[in-house]
Structures are given as structure tokens and as C-alpha cells.
Amino acid sequence: MIATLQGPQALARAARPAITLFAALAVAASTGGCMQSPRNQAPFTLANPSERHPIKVSHGEALLDLSVSSRSRGLSAAQWDQVYGYLSGYRERGTGGLVIRAPKGSANETAARRAYQDIRQALSQFGISPRDVRLESYYAKYDPAAPLRLSYLEYVAKGPDCPDWSENLARDPQNLPWPNLGCAMQNNLAAMVADPQDLLGPRAETPRPSERRDVVWGKYVNGEMTGSQWASDGTPLSEHANSTNVDTQGD
């Protein structure tokens, strides 16, 4: 005999599948919304600060304006120091050629030419080839102190912005990197790097010092002992010497 339920118990039994289905849909919706959160999408999920907050490296113009009086006979002592420092930066960080713009049509045009001759002397002292220097003129509109302008291109590093401090760092159930993680470090790196070009790739290797290698290779070719001189009489230590031989010879 099969018992039948009536009244409130029958209604509860019938409503239970609907409640279970609704709860499952609610959990799925909340999980799906969580997966679509910006915190679960790149670049917020990247743990590497250089990928989360990249440094922008681009070309910038390094300028130097030298005011030239119409009565000057060339560069002053202070301007010589400026030129030396500027050319030193050009040799270290400059990309491409050096451009010098001289005023034309101004009251100090002749004085600017004399200053340019001093700059040519400084270029020769720094070993900068004339082929890398381009001289141009610009109309100065009768300016009595029109500057002599030097410029070159160099790499400039710009750090990322760090505007997003909206996350509560004291509570993070997902244990994900917060939006500004590593951003301040990237800003400091962009401000302190000596040559931003180093951020684009490693520098080329310098030539190897080959003096000692050539000596040892020459001995090897001639069938001579290639070991270092250890003995007091100037004879080379055998290549098959062990630590005991080394200690004995050292004593």
C-alpha cells in the first residue's frame, strides 16, 4: 500500500526541486559574475610588474640654448662647461646626429658664428665626427641675443600612472594582485635608469681581452707547458698537479 501525503507536507515536497534549482542558478550567476570581474582579467592577473605596469620608452629631444651677445667674442667660461656636459650626454645617450641651429638676420649673427667655431673645437675634443653634425639656420627677427641651439634625440623613459587605489588590501578572498601592485616600483625605475635604452634590450658585449689567451694558445701550439708559474725556480707546475702538489710548491 502506498501512502499519500496531503496538506503542508505535500506542498513542501513539491516545492523542494524548484528551490534547489533556484539556488543552483544563483550560485552559477554569482560565479559567472565573479569570473567576469576586471580583477580576473589581464592585466590585473599578471604577477610581473613590468607586464602589469609597463614603462613607456620613446624618443625625446635634448636641447641646449646658448645665449650669444652681439659683443661676445665666443663662448664664455660657463658656456664652455655647459657645452662639455651636453656633449658628454650626447656621446652616452644620443641616437642619430647632432643638430646646431644658428640665428640669421639678427644683430648677433656674427657673434653666433664665432661661438659656433668654439663649439666645433669642443666637438673635435670629444671625437665627434663632422659627418654626425648638421648646421642649420633660423630667422631670429633682429633678436639682439638670439641663442645658438643644439639638439639631439635620446631615449626617454616614462613611468605608468598609479591612480587606482580602490581595492581593500585588508580583505581579498580571491588572493589576486591588486591593481597598483608594482606600479610605484616601475615609476622609480623609470626615473632612476641612467640610459632608458637599456630597458629595450641588453647592451652589446665588449671585445674580450685576449692578451693572456694568446700567450697560452701559443704555448699549446708549440707543445710547451701552459700551466702557471708556481715553483720558486721559475718552472711551470705540471698540468696534472693535484692539490697536494700545489700546497707543497706554495710552501
Domain around 126 = 57-158
Q: Is residue 5's pLDDT more than 70?
A: no
Q: Which phi and psi (to 5°) does residue 88 adopt?
A: -65, -40
**Residue 112's CATH number:** 3.30.1330.60
Higher-pLDDT residue of 36 and 78 is 78
Q: Is residue 200's pLDDT more than 70?
A: yes
Q: What is the mean pLDDT of residues 12-25?
A: 49
Strand partners, 95: 153
Q: Is residue 115 part of a domain?
A: yes
Supply 158's cell numbers: 616614462
pLDDT at 164: 83
pLDDT band at 50 (very low <50, low <70, confident <90, very high): confident
Q: Is residue 74 part of a domain?
A: yes
Query: Could you give the CA distance from residue 201 to residue 199 in angstroms, rounded to a whole number?
Result: 6
Q: What is the mean pLDDT of residues 6-22?
A: 50
pLDDT at 205: 87
Q: Is residue 134's pLDDT more than 80?
A: yes
Supply 203's cell numbers: 647592451
Checking DSSP bridges between strand 133-139 and strand 94-104, what pairing results, if any?
Answer: parallel
Q: Is residue 35's pLDDT more than 50?
A: no
Q: Is residue 138 part of a domain?
A: yes
Q: Is residue 15 part of a domain?
A: no
Spell out the residues 6+ positions from residue 67 whose beta carbon is closer than 8 angstroms to its own: 145, 147
Burial (CB < 10 A; 0-12, 13-18, 19+), residue 106, is buried
Query: Could you give the CA distance from residue 242 to residue 210 in angstroms, rounded to a whole number?
Result: 27
pLDDT at 17: 52
pLDDT at 170: 87
58-90 tens-digit pLDDT? 999 999 999 998 888 899 999 999 999 999 999
Q: Is residue 44 part of a domain?
A: no
pTM check: above 0.75: no
Residue 215's CB is within 10 A of a number of other CB atoms, namely: 11
Q: Is residue 2's pLDDT more than 90?
A: no
Name the one residue in this structure whose C-alpha cell is 597598483: 180
pLDDT at 231: 64
Q: Is residue 102 part of a domain?
A: yes
Higher-pLDDT residue of 169 and 22 is 169
Residue 125's CB is within 10 A of a number of other CB atoms, namely: 11
pLDDT band at 34 (very low <50, low <70, confident <90, very high): very low
pLDDT band at 173 (very low <50, low <70, confident <90, very high): confident
Query: Could you give the CA distance from residue 102 to residue 139 in angstroms, rounded to a whole number?
Result: 9
Average pLDDT, the chain: 79
pLDDT band at 22 (very low <50, low <70, confident <90, very high): very low
Q: Is residue 249's pLDDT more than 60?
A: no
Total number of domains constituting the chain: 1
Least confident of 112-116, 191-195, 236-240: 236-240
pLDDT band at 237 (very low <50, low <70, confident <90, very high): low
